[in-house]
Amino acid sequence: MESTGAENPNRVNFSQRPVPPGMRPFTPSSPMVGSEPPVSNPLAHTIPQTFMPPLSSGPAASQAAPPGGMYPYTSMPPMSSVPYGNPRPAGTPFQRFPTPQFPPIAQASQASTLPTPTPSSFHPQPQAPFVSMGSPPQNINHAPSFANIPPPSSSPFSGPWTTSQPARPSFSGYPSKEPNMVAPTPPVQTTPFNQGGFIPNRPPVTSAPFPSYQGSHMGPPPIAASSGPYSRDQMHHQSYGPPSGTLQGLLEDFNSLTIGSVPGSLDPGLDTKSLPRPLDGDVEPKAFAEMYPMNCHSRYLRLSTNCLPTSQSLVSRWHLPLGAVVCPLAEAPVGEEVPIQNYVSTGIIRCRKCRTYVNPYVTFTDSGRKWRCNICALLNDVPGEYFAQLDASGRRIDLNERPELTKGSVEFVAPTEYMVRPPMPPVYFFLIDVSISAVQSGMLEVVAETIKSCLDNFPGSSRTQIGFITFDSTIHFYNMKSSLTQPQMLAVSDLDDIFVPLPDDLLVNLSESRAVLDAFLDSLPSMFQNNYNVESAFGPALKSAFMVMSRLGGKLLIFQSTLPSLGVGRLRLRGDDVRVYGTDKEHSLRISEDPFYKQMAADCTKYQIAINVYAMSDKYTDIASLGTLAKYTGGQVYYYPGFQSAIHKEKLKHELARDLTRETAWEAVMRIRCGKGVRFTSYHGNFMLRSTDLLALPAVDCDKAYAVQLSLEEALLTTQTVYFQIALLYTSSSGERRIRVHTAAAPVVSDLGEMYRQADTGAIVSIFCRLAIEKTLSYKLEEARNSVQQRIVKALKEYRSLYSVQHRLGGRMIYPESLRFLLIYGLALCKSIPLRGGYADAQLDERCAAGHTMMTSPVTSLLKILYPDLIRIDEYLVKSSPHEVNFNFSRLPLTADSLDSRGVYIYDDGCRFILWFGRMVSPDIAMNLLGDDFATDLSKVAIHERDNPMSKKLTKILEKLRGSDNSYYQLCHLVRQGEQPRESFLLLSNLVEDQVSGMNSYADWIMQIQRQLQ
Amino acid sequence: MGDLLVWLLFFFILIGLIGLVVFQLMCFADLEFDYINPYDSASRINKVVLPEFIIQGIFCFLCLVTGHWIMFLLSAPYLYYNVRLYTNRKHLVDVTEIFNLLSWEKKQRLFKLGYLILLLFISLFLLIWNALEDDDHDF
């Protein structure tokens, strides 16, 4: 995508980030720490000479900055250490401690790209800028400011320039034509602003050449102008070889799209082929993980931008969400499991003040007797049992045996003070609708069969408890005491005054009552097979389930196939009224109608009950109300519209089995701590807030993610790095109380451009998505879509304003490389089922169910839902040998143009497959895959393996695709080209790049955004 | 003399209303600082919401029947707001969303408090005025 010249500065950029690999920032335990001033002085004197200049461009610079200047902005650590008997005078800043560790790395990274600057006069310089100045980044780039450099500030630079680059022209010329030279310049540009008295600023390394460029030449039009805004396939301007290295250096900051019609042509002037598309799925920013190797993996925590803004004003100019997506129990591949540490005997090491858990970023001082909390900077005592000597470099000698000090993710076994009651056993309670529709659709049979097949695999082995209630117009309890041979059914028909008969025998131990359970599940379908009851006393049944479970908590699985019609919580067929759409009452359709559901959900969370709703009905079931139960109890909604066991059996079986057997964390609470000055303000997902920052999660598993937004509490952040710590306290299925701790660090920057460069589209889109779906609960769909669009426009406008001064942007739309997919995901979000169109574009239940799914999905699954994979498979089916399994998916753009009528395609959105047969597909393929069924109505045909190599290959492909994500079972729907309305309903309306039902195509969307940017 | 008694009654009703609003605000503050959990907080607040509305309604009614038009007009907006909240079913605190609505609920009650204190001062002033006038008549 980018030329090498363009990449270079990037690397420089990262190599200069605060914590070089393997380093521990703020390591007061390094020799410097305890050393007397005489010892540290020589070091301090020499080190800056070797590595200060390069560092001065990143946050690390200020950590390593010489004493005087840094004081006002370092948080208390250096000072507060003094009273603790540290022999070193207060004047020795603690920022210098890492220095012994720095030079090798810093130099190494520099050596490749930079001439070693030897600025003897250099190091005093950066201090001042950091203290008193700073500026909005575009100011940095203003040419005029350069002219005003006062002599004192420019003189120091002659040193580095002349010594390191003798061949280079003098300072006044500034023609730093190579991106390589970027690094030494930052101090140069910071100086002018020194006088301006701005806020602290660490200018972006990459933007450094701009001023010089502007300052010396009078700004020849940037390439775009030369190669023309009309060149149609221009995507990244690096690609058309700017004449000199300077331009490359200049332009590597952003990508651009040229928009403007080609003279004489009718089309909008946008080459649709060259638009950025996320065909590789979710791409996580890698550089950040390399920068902070001790951070937890991005599968657990993804920040929307990996650089936090230093000031409120920057936050207000960032426009995109500032926050993170947290998935505390994400599935780790084999070999990367989170290590479990048992400190029950010694107690878990935590900060006295802020209760932070010990993590890789804490620093040990005082020969290992004290440790400094990285979040609040308090100096804590190391308990005797945990004490270890420090080696010469200040690292604990037992570091390698302490995963909590080397890894970002770790689990502690919690001692009894973390329990309010003995750890609960895993409890599964089933609330099953047995009314006529449940029986006739085959739901009851599939559910009973699946539960029975999973009985051996429930987590928690011998501790697991299980219970059942079925209901139609009455509520049936089942006594399954192990002493019985057959379960006893007790029917309660008084719905107004619920009572629970035999409260002790309804919830039984799985292994003890196994025989009774088997007998029960075998007989359950036949028991109700002649049930013609159409009523559903859902509310009373839920209440009685709650009464049974409230002693222990656990997971309540609700299988509902009709609208609740009796007792409390009965719902009306309020339906999907077309007249309501577009009015102020529209949102009320998407929220719970009856306060009963909210109240029940709140009560359930209080008693540690998580509710998973399985709704299957061909009619309206009011998912909006039922989903409320899942929303506030940390549960999940599964929706099977028009459930028919013949078609949906596999899907329900797989998803229910996964729900029952996946590793689950019980009675959990989650809290996210972060450094001073930053605060998490809002949380989005399925949970209930127990206090302002404590999420109550009765049951969590790997498929749940939570989005959080943060804000700055103070106008100005004084630290260079902000740390986050996610702590999830839970009971494992094995009955152990554990704390899972994820720790991450992120640098604080004062440069908006850097924030944009370090943005993580996946996390941003995920937060956008949750915000938009929440917005549909109180506003119109239209407004939710507009808010997404407006924020994207604002962000791009802000980004544009960063560069519009240096570049004649003309009609080009520019965006940072990191956000190249933001536009398409934004469009996909507006076209996603919860947000799309109006009345006719999606059914209300589907909208709500999809909304619930998207509110819980981790980033990767969410992005797949938004921009599904489209894969052509016919060539593979025909050509390759049957044993070849390495099938390369080449994903196609999601537009009808990608569909060739001679081909067979799979559309995979993570929840279902749609197998599309072109009109002119070879009869051979059709026959092999479908046999005689091909001629019939494809809606009733299920794909199954036939005895021919082609069909076997298809099965293999489907298996492989399913294997990539287990959270849902992708049911295969078949559709033939031109088979309306199924084709448009299943596939065509989901091709997000096309113009569907009055919504923009990708090109139109870009044009529209571009117009708003002007 | 009767008028004086009415003013005294108004005064105590207003004190009572202020007490109820302050109590709700305290519950919110406790919740914010994590002294009580949202369930307790919501149930405590919801317990006094309707009494507050009813007392305020009675106050307005008393103003009306005793012919204190000014006081009635002054407290009418408050009554209207309460009635609107009640008819929209938004008068009770929602325990599931309590943290998201915290700032709004607090702001709303702070305004109520300010309004009530203003009314209190007016009624206090009128009370004393009345008392003095009564004195004037006596002599």
Tokens of A343: 């400190």
> Residue A258's pLDDT is what?
63
Q: A689 and B94 in contact by Cβ < 8 A? A: no
Q: How far apart are CA A521 and CA A523, in angstroms?
A: 5
Q: A602 and B95 in contact by Cβ < 8 A? A: yes
- Write the DSSP string, A250-297: HHTTEEEEE-SPPTT--S-S--GGGS---TT-----HHHHHH-TTSPP
The mean pLDDT of A728-737, rounded to a whole number, is 92
Chain A residues whose beta carbon lies within 8 Å of the beta carbon of residue B37: 690-691
> Residue A15's pLDDT is what?
38
A337 secondary structure, DSSP code: P
Asked if pLDDT for residue B37 goes beyond 70, the answer is: yes
Chain B residues whose beta carbon lies within 8 Å of the beta carbon of residue A689: 38, 98-100
Q: How far apart are CA A52 and CA A120, in angstroms?
A: 10
The mean pLDDT of B7-19, rounded to a whole number, is 92
The confidence band for A881, taking pLDDT boundaries of 50, 70 and 90, is low
Q: What are phi and psi of A480, to 5 degrees?
A: -125, 40
> Residue A73's pLDDT is what?
39
Do residues A663 and A329 lie in contact, with contact meaning Cβ atoms separated by under 8 Å? yes
List the single residue in A with minimal CA-CA distance to B99: A692
Chain A residues whose beta carbon lies within 8 Å of the beta carbon of residue B103: none
Q: Which of A632, A691, A692 sits opposite B96 (nearest CB)?
A: A632
> Residue A700's pLDDT is what?
93
> Residue A126's pLDDT is what?
36
Torsion of CA A660, A666, A667, A670, to 10 degrees: -110
Count other Cβ atoms within 10 Å, centred on residue A254: 25
The confidence band for A727, taking pLDDT boundaries of 50, 70 and 90, is very high
Q: pLDDT tens-digit profile of A258-286? A: 655 444 444 455 667 778 888 877 777 77
Asked if pLDDT for residue A626 goes beyond 70, the answer is: yes
> Residue A287's pLDDT is what?
72
For A790, the enclosing helix (H) or strand (E) is: helix A781-803
List the single residue in B with minimal CA-CA distance to A682: B100
Q: How far apart are CA A987 and CA A1001, in angstroms?
A: 15
> Residue A954's pLDDT is what?
86
Q: pLDDT tens-digit profile of B47-87? A: 999 999 999 999 999 999 988 888 899 999 999 999 999 99
Secondary structure in 3-state letters for A713-755: CCCECCCCEEEEEEEEEEECCCCCEEEEEEEEEEEEECCHHHH
Asked if pLDDT for residue A903 goes beyond 70, the answer is: yes
> In this predicted model, which residue has the larger pLDDT, A220 or B93?
B93
The one-letter amino acid code at B23 reads F
Asked if pLDDT for residue A578 goes beyond 80, the answer is: no
Please give the mean pLDDT across all residues of chain B: 90
- Write the DSSP string, A114-131: S-----TTTTHHHHHHHH
Q: H helices of A839-948, where?
A: 844-856, 859-866, 874-879, 923-930
> Residue A274's pLDDT is what?
75
The mean pLDDT of A715-743, rounded to a whole number, is 91
Out of A36-40, A609-613, A860-864, pick the least confident. Answer: A36-40
Q: B38 and A632 in contact by Cβ < 8 A? A: no
Out of A154-163, A868-877, B10-19, pick the least confident. Answer: A154-163
Chain B residues whose beta carbon lies within 8 Å of the beta carbon of residue A634: none
Chain B residues whose beta carbon lies within 8 Å of the beta carbon of residue A606: 39
Q: Which of B38, B89, B100 sits opposite A690 (nearest CB)?
A: B38
A702 secondary structure, DSSP code: T
Tokens of A436: 């006529």
Helix/strand/coil percentages in chain A, nearest 5:
40, 15, 45
Torsion of CA A73, A77, A79, A83, to 10 degrees: 170
Out of A226-230, A460-464, A681-685, pick the least confident. Answer: A226-230
Q: B96 and A598 in contact by Cβ < 8 A? A: yes
The one-letter amino acid code at A437 reads S
Q: A689 and B99 in contact by Cβ < 8 A? A: yes
Q: How many angstroms separate the CA of residue B106 from the nearest CA in chain A?
A: 15
For A164, the enclosing helix (H) or strand (E) is: helix A151-164
Q: How far apart are CA A628 and CA A601, in angstroms?
A: 7
Asked if pLDDT for residue A454 goes beyond 50, the answer is: yes
Asked if pLDDT for residue A731 goes beyond 80, the answer is: yes
Tokens of A496: 């107004």
CA atoms within 13 A on the CB side of A132: 11
**Chain A interface mutation, best of B99, B100, B102, B103, highest count of A Cβ atoms under 10 Å:** B99
Do residues A243 and A217 lie in contact, with contact meaning Cβ atoms separated by under 8 Å? no
Q: How far apart are CA A388 and CA A395, in angstroms?
A: 10
Please give the mean pLDDT across all residues of chain A: 75
Asked if pLDDT for residue A580 goes beyond 90, the answer is: no
ipTM: 0.86
**Chain A interface mutation, best of B31, B88, B96, B98, highest count of A Cβ atoms under 10 Å:** B96
> Residue A866's pLDDT is what?
92
The confidence band for A448, taking pLDDT boundaries of 50, 70 and 90, is very high
Q: B96 and A682 in contact by Cβ < 8 A? A: no
Sheet of A912-917, strand order: A869-872, A904-908, A912-917, A971-976
List the single residue in B with minimal CA-CA distance to A632: B96
Q: How far apart are CA A626 and CA A592, in angstroms?
A: 8
Q: What are phi and psi of A234, to 5 degrees?
A: -85, 125
Q: pLDDT tens-digit profile of A954-988? A: 888 888 888 888 888 888 888 888 877 778 788 88
Chain A residues whose beta carbon lies within 8 Å of the beta carbon of residue B39: 602, 606
For A176-212, give one letter per residue: b (16+ CB within 10 A) or e: bbbbbbbbbbbbbbbbbbbeeebbbbbbbbbbbbbbb
The mean pLDDT of A327-342, rounded to a whole number, is 89
Q: How many angstroms separate the CA of residue A598 from the nearest CA in chain B?
A: 7
> Residue A880's pLDDT is what?
63
Q: Which of B32, B34, B96 sits opposite A602 (nearest CB)?
A: B96
Q: How many angstroms separate the CA of residue B90 from the nearest CA in chain A?
A: 11
Q: pLDDT tens-digit profile of A646-674? A: 888 989 999 999 999 998 999 999 999 98
> Residue B130's pLDDT is what?
83
Q: pLDDT tens-digit profile of A121-149? A: 334 333 333 333 333 333 333 433 333 43
Chain B residues whose beta carbon lies within 8 Å of the beta carbon of residue A635: none
Q: Which of B34, B39, B94 sits opposite A692 (nearest CB)?
A: B34
> In this predicted model, which residue has the larger pLDDT, A479 or A156?
A479
Q: pLDDT tens-digit profile of A753-806? A: 889 888 999 999 999 999 999 999 999 899 999 999 999 999 998 888 888 777
pTM of the model: 0.76
The confidence band for A186, taking pLDDT boundaries of 50, 70 and 90, is very low
